[in-house]
Structure 1
Amino acid sequence: MLFQSIIASASLVGLALAANHDVMVGMDGLTFTPNTTTAANGDTVTFHFYPMKHSVVQAAFATPCEPMAGGFYSGFVPTSSGESMTTFMITVNETTKPIWFYCSQASHCQSGMVGAINAPTTGNTIEKFVASAKSASNNTTPSVTAGTGGTLSAMNMTSASGTMTMSMSSTATGTAASSTGTGAASALEVSKGLGFSAAFAFLGYLFV
């Protein structure tokens, strides 16, 4: 009994120590802000999307504008002005392996819209990844479902009568830093919106 209590307490401490790191997608033009993040094992990284339409795709260092097999993919998240209500969150599971990512919209990757988590300061650096991306011949969008490898969530929406939270999430069996994981995610593509049912539900809520 005492042993189980110790294990439970240790788990809670681990959760408490985990941190979240925010990355702004397109807030300052065709860039991730910041474009490099240092995260510990168990930490989360949340991507916030800005106009007009961007995505976050995991890549390998050698192929900066191509999706990595088993990697994460946010899907395209459009917003006409300001920050989108939709965020994409991944969990860092292997701090010894850098996580590389890019935006697959148009030629954004070739414009230097790439980033990294736990990139080394020597050797395969973020600067070399950016330079490699700018010389890439193609910018490829994954064929997997939006939300693969992470969690898509809609932020709170406030009306005159109160606040309603709408969310959608999907998780895959692959890890953010692993190239071997695979899995299915939510069938709802962000670029297709929340759907008629959610829209009508929200309108009904506003006029209650």
Structure 2
Amino acid sequence: MVASKSLVGALALASFVAAENIDVKVGEGGLKFVPDNIKAKQGDNIVFHFVAGHHDVTLGKYSDPCMPIDGATIWSGVIDTVEKGKGVTFTVPVQDDKPKWFYCGVAKHCQNGMSLVLNEPSSGDSQRDYKDRAKLVPKSGVATEVKGGTLGGSGGSGGSSSSSQSSGSSMTSTSGIPDATLIPSGSIPSATQTGSTTGSSSHSATGSATGTAITGTTSPTASPGAAAGLKGSAVLAGLVAFGAWVGLL
């Protein structure tokens, strides 16, 4: 009995140690998942790193490219790396070894080849066929609830999407596409806020310095009108002095 428990414990430990993180870069080099064809086993984690652009990760179905599966069991929400800063991640635990098809549901990214296959079958369904049929889809399906993974970020505290949403984070809409605003405020710098602050301060400083340079100093090269006015005044003063001298004679 003791030996059986030890064996079970050893197997569980071996399974835990063997679990891997598979890294996927979202948006690197354009409308791409890099890599876009991966293998993983139950217990592994797929870590999607949003490195550029405005993208999401949606679990779809092979039979209907660019469309979420019923219930949309995995969706990251739309992540704008310009707004939230690079380094946002979405970690998805692998529940089984079955093939799964992911795509980006933003605009026509899926139609332009932005899809990924997990555990592609050795025959039959293929990534190439999925991408070819995706080109003919008029509009991608967009999920509405962030779930199935954990959002995180460099310098920020991560949390499951469901708990983050219930803790008060909001879902906003941009051009009809939900935007995942689940990263705690201040965890990942907002380019919008930074740009606003930098822009106003730099504009003020530049304007002030420029104004001082133009209005507060005397330039050695006066304008033609000013030079002419000074010359006329000098001539007039000379004539008045000459007249006074003649009168004395």
Q: How does the TM-score come out when normalised to structure 2?
A: 0.63
1:58-84 Cα offsets, whole Å, 9 max, x none, are: 001011211112320011111129x72
1:37-70 Cα offsets, whole Å, 9 max, x none, are: 0112221111011222110000010112111123
Aligned counterpart, 1:125? 126
Runs of 4+ in 1 over 4 A off after TM superposition: 195-200
Distance 1:43-1:195 versus aligned 2 partners, 3 A rule: closer
Aligned counterpart, 2:158? 168
Output aligned runs, 1:5-154, within 5 Å: 5-70=6-71, 71-80=73-82, 84-95=86-97, 97-144=98-145, 146=146, 148-154=147-153
Higher relative contact order (CA 8 A, sep 6+): 1
Aligned identity (percent) is: 31
Indicate if the aligned counterparts of 1:114 and 1:133 stay in contact, CA closer than 8 A: no
Shift of 1:124: 0.8
Alignment RMSD: 2.6
Aligned counterpart, 2:180? 191
Query: For residues 85 and 76 of structure 1, what CA distance do their matches in structure 2 show?
Result: 14
Identify unmatched segments of 5+ residues in structure 1.
158-165, 172-183, 201-208
Shift of 1:30: 0.3
CA radius of gyration, larger in: 2
Shift of 1:121: 3.4
Query: For residues 76 and 126 of structure 2, what CA distance do their matches in structure 1 show?
Result: 24
1:4-51 Cα offsets, whole Å, 9 max, x none, are: 444333212111011111111110110111111011222111101122
Query: For residues 199 and 49 of structure 1, what CA distance do their matches in structure 2 show?
Result: 13
SS across alignment from 1:186: helix
Identify unmatched segments of 5+ residues in structure 2.
172-178, 190-249
What letter is aligned with 2:148? G
Q: How does the TM-score come out when normalised to structure 1?
A: 0.75
Query: For residues 101 and 132 of structure 2, what CA distance do their matches in structure 1 show?
Result: 13
Matched positions, count: 176
1:74-131 Cα offsets, whole Å, 9 max, x none, are: 11111129x7221111122221x21101001111011110111001232110000111
Indicate if the aligned counterparts of 2:164 and 2:182 stay in contact, CA closer than 8 A: no
Query: For residues 198 and 13 of structure 1, what CA distance do their matches in structure 2 show?
Result: 35
SS across alignment from 2:10: helix
Bigger mean CA offset, 46-55 vs 5-14: 5-14
SS across alignment from 1:39: coil
